Amino acid sequence: MPAYKAPLRDLDFVLNELIKVQDIIPTLPGYEDATQDIFASYLEAAAQFCENEIAPLNRSGDEEGCEFNAADHSVKTPAGFKQAYQQFCELGFTGLDCDPAYGGQGMPKTLAFPIMEMQCSANVAWSMYPGLSHGAYAAIHAHGTPEQKDTYLPHLVDGSWTGTMCLTEPHCGTDLGLLKTKAEPNGDGSYSITGTKIFISAGEHDMSDNIIHLVLARLPDAPKDVKGISLFIVPKFHADGSRNPVACGALEHKMGIKANATAVINLDNAKGYLIGEPNKGLSCMFTMMNAARLGCGMQGLGIGEASFQGALTYARERLQMRALAGAKFPEKAADPIIVHPDVRRMLLTQKAYTEAGRALTALLALQLDIEEKHPDADARQDAADLVALLTPVAKAFMTDNGFEAANMGVQVFGGHGFIREWGMEQLVRDCRISQLYEGTNGIQAIDLLGRKVLLDQGAKLRKFSKQIHKFCEANAGNAQLAEFVGPLSKLLKEIGETTMGIGMASMMDKDEAGAAATDFLRLIGHITYAWLWARMAEVAYSKLGGGDDAFYNAKITTARFYYAKLLPEVESLKAKIKTGAKPLMSLQDEHFAF
């Protein structure tokens, strides 16, 4: 597979021309020094690290995998992983957007997110080690006591300790109300934690001195279901260096991300420390889970970009047949396959989904920074509402599209894409998990429609719709944008009608919402991308004649492709939603026979 190159030009476009982070970020308290020059220097350093250090380890890490030693419950990561992680720590990336009070650099998420994308493109399995640690940092920072913060955060920030999230058990995944792991008070403020957790990403490895597990468990006499779950800090080693009885029991044998240690974690009266309030553990863990869901979306984006780069390079070089309209390169034995319409369809689909996904992640990163730092309470609430609404969209729509892009990358390569040495099939395998963990994409769809739309009678969705409406209204007379604004305005009205229809139907039958959820999420994903592509086209038109016309014309052309070839999917989505739950629920269980 061709070497990965960080898309720095497109990142610059999204951050500085589309989202215009420099109009906002330096005005937020604490971010005054986050200038455009600072952004550029960090992004360049991250690009060099990802291109030169972890991208070359991607295929070898997949082939070598992680090695489990049953005798001492240790795990050895693939060759080069530990050294790359140490370099990552030395460069200061583990504490990039962390609190300076604990050794962090205090940079905004609008800088951290693009760097996360680069890591996912270069080596998604490697990226998960620091990624899980950052989630543990965020949970402890948000909910820990001052003593817990002082004990754990400096080590998580400098990367000497890493973190995990331990939710899933053999009998429960999404339905955490069924979990059985127990927490017994010890009388000294600590608890004895006993149970088994599975599918724990980065659960055991040799890359750091300690691993801090955040574990969901039940206190004695806790309420049933999710109302009785508490969250505990369970370190592999205590602060005094003594070993805690928490150990890896096995590694899962997986379809992809083989270089990340997906562990079975056994807790045998391991000492843990309550974080947050008793029986409120799930709300504390959601600090980590929401970040992880955005991280999953970033995996879909990153892998989609990597697949696009590989497919584009191959399509320019691979000679097969002649263009249908006549030879484009008569001096060669055949034309490169990029001349063929179907190959261009796949490349443009990859490009359109990836570039819109990059714009969405920048938008969400900016909202997270505003939510955290803006002095105005209403601005913080508006930002929080937009993040809440679009997090399930980012997780599910971006990973579904990333998986489609990865599959198209294999297709562009033809038979060679099926062969391991090209690296394209690994991207398909690695991307598949992003649609499953941190809540399957079906769960994200239910979360979006049920919790984020219907539960508040569409208040968050209306706020978002107003932003799209204002854009359409402001550009109603813009002849250049008419091809985008017209369809976007029409779709916005239709989504309002569709949402109302689902709400009315679900009042009569709760299954109606469940039946519509997946199609509804994809519908919201499409209008989000369509809005972003219209905005990107607006910026591109304004920049023509400034010396980079090829780049800006490509933006306009890709926007047209999205509207012409991808956005029409909304018609089938609306039609499927209208059919309701009956086609799904009519068949009796016993008739699902074989």
pLDDT digits (tens, 9 = 90+) for 246-277: 999 999 999 999 999 999 999 999 999 999 99
Q: pLDDT per residue over 106-157, tens digit each?
A: 999 999 999 999 999 999 999 999 999 999 999 999 999 999 999 999 999 9
For residue 2, pLDDT over 90 is answered with no
Annotate 423-467 with DSSP letters as a single string. Answer: SHHHHHHHHHGGGTSSS-HHHHHHIIIIIIIITTTTHHHHHHHHH
Q: Can you state the percent helix, strand and coil of the chain, rounding each to 5?
A: 65, 10, 25
Give the pLDDT of residue 388.
96
Query: CA–CA separation, 505 vs 43, rounded Å?
Result: 48
Query: CA–CA separation, 201 vs 77, rounded Å?
Result: 13
CATH superfamily of 8-156: Acyl-CoA dehydrogenase/oxidase, N-terminal domain (1.10.540.10)
The overall average pLDDT reported for the chain is: 97
For residue 569, pLDDT over 70 is answered with yes
Give the pLDDT of residue 273.
98
Give the pLDDT of residue 290.
87
Residue 80 is inside which H or E element, if any? none
Q: Report which residue type is found at 397.
A: F
Residues 6+ apart with CB under 8 A from 22: 16, 35, 36
Give the pLDDT of residue 178.
85
Give the pLDDT of residue 1.
65
Would you kindly state where each structural domain of the chain is located, as residue ranges? 8-156, 162-279, 458-584
CATH code at 162-279: 2.40.110.20
Residues 6+ apart with CB under 8 A from 500: none
For residue 175, pLDDT over 90 is answered with no
Can you give the C-alpha Rg of the chain in angstroms? 24
Give the pLDDT of residue 507.
95
Residues 6+ apart with CB under 8 A from 590: none
Q: Where are the alpha helices (DSSP H) in 209-340?
A: 281-317
Give SS3 for 37: helix
Q: Kindly name the residue from 438, 473, 497, 512 that is annotated as catalytic.
A: 438
Average pLDDT on 202-229 reads: 95
> What would the two tokens of residue 94 be?
């583990």
**Of 535, 531, 526, 529, the residue nearest 556 (C-alpha):** 535
Give the pLDDT of residue 283.
87
Q: pLDDT per residue over 40-49, tens digit each?
A: 999 999 999 9
Query: CA–CA separation, 115 vs 134, rounded Å?
Result: 13
For residue 176, pLDDT over 90 is answered with no
Give the pLDDT of residue 442.
98
Instruction: Assign 594 a pLDDT band (cuts: 50, 70, 90).
Output: confident
Give the pLDDT of residue 149.
98
Catalytic residue list contains 494:
no
- What's the Cα-to-Cα distance from 37 to each of 22, 60, 117, 515, rounded to whole Å? 10, 35, 20, 49
Q: Which residue has the higher pLDDT, 286 or 120?
A: 120
For residue 524, pLDDT over 70 is answered with yes
